[in-house]
Amino acid sequence: MSNKRTEISELGEFGLIDHLNSQVRIKNTSTIKGIGDDAAVIEAGDHVKVVTTDLLLEGVHFDLSYAPLTHVGFKAVAVNVSDVAAMNAIPKQITVSIALSNRFSVEAVDALYEGINAACEHYGVDLVGGDTTASRGGLIISVTAIGEAKKEQLSYRSGAKVNDILCVTGDLGAALVGLQILEREKQVYLANPDMKPDLEKYTVVTSRQLKPDARMDIIHELRDLGVVPTSMMDVSDGLASEIFHICKASQVGATIYEDKLPIDKQTFDTAVELNLDPITCVLNGGEDYELLFTIDQKDFAKLEKHPDIHFIGHITKPEEGKYLVTKSGTAVQLKAQGWKHF
């Protein structure tokens, strides 16, 4: 060991993961895919298992001054189910580990588990274990989800091909805008506790932040239509950042069109009210938990009429780069700002 000290911010979250991955040696043939996708893939007889885990910290990922514990519990499960969905797999089991400080009562833990159990019902998964420990400060929740698929049904980040169509579900930017509203109202309340926050107008964006829903509905519909995305991931860090991941893993380029990007009216209006550029919210807002995927052109007709799948662009050769074509027709290079954790 040298005395050299490298700041984590020099590598960034993804650089750090690449750095850790470079030191990992896979020893078991049953490990089909390790680090680097939305979930790991493990051989399991006639099918495969997918495994994914996420860690949520009070004060970093949620703020209990506005996030009800029940919603935090639901979200902790939903974000993991979203990573299972992103592999085109079906979630079956979860484990839940919690660390609690003495600030939390049994009733508080019950509220958290009310959300966890509601999510288990909603997604049809079984809570099969976990761990419980004390925390020096605040609440920490770690959820691991296990899902199943047939090997040929899986969608990796690495399967996008030139001329594939880029698709995104739902609408984007709402969770970021919702977070800004919740933070703004919190500051108003802290400055004057007699003021009642007026959140009525913002329920679409705030509920997207507080209680996102993983798009398992889309996974089941794709199955029914016989469509296997050539690549897929969920939008947790922001659309632009996720497009970079797919392009890097698939060694391709991409062009997307501003006028095709889906944004909800309340998200748009609230972004403008907050002096935020709505398109920047769509491109770089985190935590939307929609699905970004690519399909072969032959499958377009099967999805063309779907009300909640949007065709935002196409895959190009790697040397063509990553571009956003604006409403005025100018191609600007995409920048992957994403969520900066460090």
Residues contributing to the site for ligand ADP (CB under 6 A)? 17, 20, 35-38, 54, 83, 236
113 is in an annotated binding site: yes
Q: How far is CA 34 from CA 38, 109, 171, 196, 292, in A?
A: 10, 33, 30, 48, 21
SS (H, E, C) 202-241: HHHHHHHHHCCCCCHHHHHHHHHHCCCCCEEEEECCCHHH
Contact status, residue 191 vs residue 164, Cβ threshold 8 Å: no
Nearest approach in angstroms of CB 257 to ligand ADP is 25
Structure tokens at 152: 């040929």
Q: Which residues contact 39 (CB under 8 A, 6 or more apart)?
A: 50, 51, 52, 83, 84, 86, 87, 89, 145, 147
Structure tokens at 154: 């899986």
Q: Which does residue 164 bind out of Mg ion, ligand ADP, none, counting CB within 5 to 8 angstroms by kind?
A: none
Q: Which is nearer to ligand ADP, 17 or 128 (CB)?
A: 17
Please tell me whether residue 234 binds Mg ion under the rule CB under 5 A: yes
137 is in an annotated binding site: no
d(CA 52, CA 78): 12
DSSP, res 58: B
Nearest approach in angstroms of CB 199 to ligand ADP is 28
d(CA 308, CA 298): 19
- The separation between the first and the last C-alpha atoms of the chain, rounded to the nearest angstrom, is 24
Q: Which does residue 37 bind out of ligand ADP, Mg ion, none, counting CB within 5 to 8 angstroms by kind?
A: ligand ADP
DSSP, res 46: T
Q: What are phi and psi of 78, to 5 degrees?
A: -60, -40
Please tell me whether residue 58 binds Mg ion under the rule CB under 5 A: no
SS3 40: strand
Structure tokens at 215: 């798009």
From 27-35, 100-108, 127-135, 230-238, span contacting Mg ion (CB under 5 A): 230-238
131 is in an annotated binding site: yes
Nearest approach in angstroms of CB 274 to ligand ADP is 25
From 204-212, 231-239, 263-271, 299-307, span contacting Mg ion (CB under 5 A): 231-239
Nearest approach in angstroms of CB 245 to ligand ADP is 8
234 is in an annotated binding site: yes
Please tell me whether residue 290 binds Mg ion under the rule CB under 5 A: no
83 is in an annotated binding site: yes
d(CA 10, CA 290): 29
341 is in an annotated binding site: no
Of residues 18-47, which lie at the interface with Mg ion (CB under 5 A)? 38
d(CA 158, CA 249): 4
Q: Which is nearer to ligand ADP, 142 or 236 (CB)?
A: 236
Q: Which is nearer to ligand ADP, 231 or 236 (CB)?
A: 236
Of residues 149-208, which lie at the interface with Mg ion (CB under 5 A)? none
From 15-23, 62-70, 81-89, 274-282, span contacting Mg ion (CB under 5 A): 81-89
Q: Which of 141, 143, 130, 81 is nearest to 108 (CA)?
A: 141
208 is in an annotated binding site: no
Binding residues for substrate, as ranges, are 61, 287, 339
Binding residues, as ranges, are 38, 52-54, 61, 83, 113, 130-131, 157, 234, 236-237, 287, 339
Contacts with Mg ion by CB under 5 A lie at 38, 83, 234
